């Protein structure tokens, strides 16, 4: 299916096409180019995408967006980053899809994926979402540029680590529905306190389309602040949570044998019972946000419930697998993509519910926490011990305060990096263990997970 013609790209970006070509996808990573893709040659401090044009076309690119002359089929523009944004604006302008924007300190990627699955059930091949965690100043425009004109529902994740970033991204996405999953200490190095984080997340409402809906966590201590941020822009504000005052709320929850949760929820005047396959109380909250959004765009709530029951674990965000160890096996919970104090506590609570012979953690340092970093790390000792963890590997210099807080309370060691963690874990694992792996993305604990998956342990 055609996504962009060279003429449409040139019209959207103000560029000049070298000739006629048609593309079926868009990417700015030459390693991800597939047949028919438009390759955007991004220029930055670290590298220049123009260096990889030959590689991109060898992999099947149909055309390129460039700011330098090229012998390959292309559209020439002054600035490829600005051109990608303009292509994103054109993609947004040409569709009649209902658009949902998702942000939050914790849970935005999982909520985005669950929402996509819920809407895709009733609109197969006509539901679009941002992939991976493409949620920043380049990822959001890329995700928009990839959206087909015939899309019925579009779900876009938006992230930030500084004030003002969401205000820009939301004007590109222009959501009909904007969700804030939760507010928690994340990127606190760049904010004076959690209220400032709430204000920055609240910028998502500034891009709401006329008649738009704001979806706000009722149980958050920042609820009223978020409602105030939404009020000038939203035609309707919907709250979700466990408290009886929430518009979309869980009135009963029960853990299932498989580790998920059976939920009975109220959505406005309706009652719905469904199962969430993903373990943890935080997923109950995520599911309520999903139901609120599905309802807001006129989706099918019953199909949404089925999708939540069948949602698989996301790599780096709760995926589970077993590995052979000796004469038995061990369970691995992969939360390696990122971490902050709130998400650490949530996933430790999930580990607590595991019926394992022994519980182990590989916890990487949490970054961008500013002056509160030592206290945040030391504060994880309580949930680590409450989860019944007997042994662990703490990775990175910032994790030392946690090691000190756990001294004498189990078999905990400190290592410098992911490679050392991988080596240490190989000597620690035993049959019947459950191991949780979680840390900030920059620590690189995904390599530990990859080693376990490949059998190198």
Q: Looking at the domain assignment, is residue 70 inside a domain?
A: yes
CB under 8 A, 24+ apart: contacts of 55-61:
55/30, 56/30, 59/30, 59/33, 59/34, 59/35, 60/33, 60/34, 60/35, 60/36, 61/33, 61/36, 61/37
Whether residue 339 sits in one domain with residue 265: no
- At 410 the pLDDT is 93
Q: For position 131, what pLDDT does the model report?
A: 83
Could you tell me if 362 and 431 lie in one domain? yes
Final residue of a structural domain among 44, 79, 114: 79
* pTM for this predicted structure: 0.83
Domain CATH code at residue 64? 3.40.1390.10
Examine the domain organization and report whether 196 and 295 are in the same domain: yes
| Domain identity same for 351 and 290 | no
User: Are 21 and 131 in a shared domain?
Assistant: no
Q: What is the pLDDT of residues 164-222, one digit of tens each?
A: 999 999 999 999 999 999 997 666 667 778 999 999 999 999 999 999 999 999 999 99
Task: Give per-residue pLDDT as tens, 96-111.
Answer: 999 999 999 888 999 9
Phi then psi for 140, rounded to 5 degrees?
-65, -50
Among 281, 310, 339, give the residue marking a domain's end: 310
Check if the beta carbon of residue 51 is closer than 8 Å to that of residue 11.
no
Which pLDDT score, from 0 to 100, does residue 107 have? 86
CATH number at 283 reads: 3.40.1190.10
Q: Does residue 41 sit in the same domain as residue 101?
A: no
Domain hosting 232: range is 95-310
* Residues with pLDDT less than 50, the chain: none
Do 161 and 286 lie in one domain? The reply is yes
353 & 231 share domain: no
Question: Which residues, including other chains, have CB under 8 Å from residue 396's CB and lie 6 or more apart?
Answer: 364, 365, 416, 417, 439, 443
Q: Are 64 and 70 in contact (CB under 8 A)?
A: yes
Contact 140, 154 (CB under 8 A): no
> How many structural domains is the chain composed of?
3
The whole-number pLDDT of residue 187 equals 60
In a domain, 189, yes or no: yes
Give the DSSP H or E segment for 272: strand 270-276
Domain boundary among 290, 310, 330: 310
Domain at 368, CATH number: 3.90.190.20
Q: Would you state the structure tokens that stand for residue 119, as one six-digit string?
A: 């809407």
Q: What angle do CA 315, 319, 323 make, to 5 degrees?
A: 110
- Give the max Cα distance, the chain: 70
């Amino acid at each position: 299916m055609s996504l962009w013609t060279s003429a449409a790209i040139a019209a959207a970006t103000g560029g000049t096409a070298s000739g006629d070509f048609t593309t079926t996808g868009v990417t700015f990573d030459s390693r991800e180019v597939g047949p028919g893709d438009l390759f955007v040659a991004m220029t930055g401090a670290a590298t220049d995408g123009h260096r990889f044009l030959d590689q991109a076309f060898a992999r099947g690119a149909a055309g390129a967006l460039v700011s330098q002359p090229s012998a390959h089929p292309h559209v020439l523009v002054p600035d490829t980053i600005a051109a990608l944004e303009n292509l994103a604006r054109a993609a947004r302008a040409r569709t009649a899809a209902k658009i949902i924007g998702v942000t939050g300190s914790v849970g935005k990627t999982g909520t985005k994926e669950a929402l996509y699955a819920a809407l895709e059930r009733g609109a197969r091949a006509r539901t679009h979402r941002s992939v991976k965690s493409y949620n920043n100043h380049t990822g959001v425009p890329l995700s928009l540029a990839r959206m087909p004109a015939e899309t019925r529902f579009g779900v876009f994740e938006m992230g930030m680590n500084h004030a003002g970033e969401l205000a820009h991204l939301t004007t590109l996405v222009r959501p009909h529905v904007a969700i804030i999953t939760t507010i928690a200490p994340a990127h606190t190095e760049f904010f004076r306190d959690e209220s400032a984080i709430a204000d920055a997340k609240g910028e998502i409402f500034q891009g709401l389309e006329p008649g738009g809906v704001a979806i706000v966590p009722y149980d958050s201590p920042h609820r009223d602040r978020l409602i105030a941020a939404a009020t000038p822009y939203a035609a309707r504000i919907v709250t979700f949570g466990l408290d009886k005052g929430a518009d979309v709320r869980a009135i009963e929850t029960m853990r299932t044998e498989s580790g998920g949760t059976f939920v009975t929820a109220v959505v406005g005047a309706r009652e719905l019972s469904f199962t969430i396959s993903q373990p943890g109380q935080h997923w109950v909250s995520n599911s309520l946000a999903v139901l609120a959004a599905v309802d807001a765009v006129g989706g099918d709530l019953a199909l949404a419930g089925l999708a939540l029951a069948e949602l698989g674990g996301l790599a780096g965000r709760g995926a589970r697998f077993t590995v052979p160890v000796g004469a038995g096996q061990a369970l691995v919970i992969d939360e390696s993509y990122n971490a902050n104090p709130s998400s650490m506590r949530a996933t430790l609570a999930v580990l607590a519910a595991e019926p394992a012979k022994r519980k182990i953690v590989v916890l990487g340092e949490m970054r961008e926490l500013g002056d509160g970093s030592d206290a945040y790390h030391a504060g994880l000792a309580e949930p680590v011990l409450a989860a019944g963890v007997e042994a662990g590997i703490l990775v990175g210099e910032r994790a030392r305060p946690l090691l000190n807080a756990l001294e004498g309370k189990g078999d905990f060691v400190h290592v410098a990096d992911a490679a050392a963690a991988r080596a240490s874990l190989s000597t620690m694992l035993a049959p019947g263990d459950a191991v949780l792996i979680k840390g900030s993305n920059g620590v690189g604990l995904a390599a530990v997970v990859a080693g376990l998956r490949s059998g190198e342990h």
